[in-house]
Amino acid sequence: MKDIVIKGTGNSRLLKTSLGAETTWTDALSALRDGTFPIDLSGYNAEGIDVDGTPLNTANLLADVVAELLGGDTSMTPSQAFERLFQLCALKSVAITATLPAAGWAKPSGSAKYTQTISVGGVTATSHLVVSYAAASHDLWLANEVYCSGQGDGTLTFMAAAKPTQNVVANVLIVG
């Protein structure tokens, strides 16, 4: 879309009135002052315009077919359409906690790190995740260098440089 650019020469609009030829200037001026002067804005005068803008109409602002796709009708306004788009596109994230039992850590042969895989409902192999320590597990998480190293359908795998001696609680945000 582009804005109209008026030259500022006082001749950008065309007016048409239904006042008869017998109307005096005094009557016309009185009607203008009273707000009863009948006019139609019949368009632009090309001589008074530098750039013709995109017309503001339903087809350009919110076509009926778009309103219907958004679940509205021909009375839907652009503001209502944006609100509906926001509702349709809003992320539906889920925050959960997951506990890593102290007894669940194992050190695979040849590995320098401990590992543990736990079940976490809602997680998939392709989920977008944010995983961090729960506040109560802050010191334990950092002291043992715990981190989430992988995910699968319904599972998260964690690694630790040292074996935690207490349960570690993780906050998991599934961004969806």
Residue-by-residue pLDDT tens, the chain, 176 positions: 577 788 888 778 777 888 889 999 999 999 889 988 888 777 778 888 888 888 777 788 888 899 899 898 988 988 999 888 888 766 678 899 999 999 999 999 999 999 999 999 999 999 999 999 999 999 999 999 999 999 999 999 999 999 999 999 999 999 87
CATH code: domain 94-175 is 2.60.40
Q: How many CA atoms lie within 13 A of 111 on its CB side?
A: 14
CATH 2.60.40 residue ranges in the chain? 94-175
Nearest to 8 by CA among 50, 55, 42, 39: 50
| Token couple for 139 | 């010191």
How high is the pLDDT of residue 117?
A: 98
Question: Using CB atoms within 10 A of its CB, is residue 1 exposed (0-12), middle (13-18) or buried (19+)?
Answer: exposed
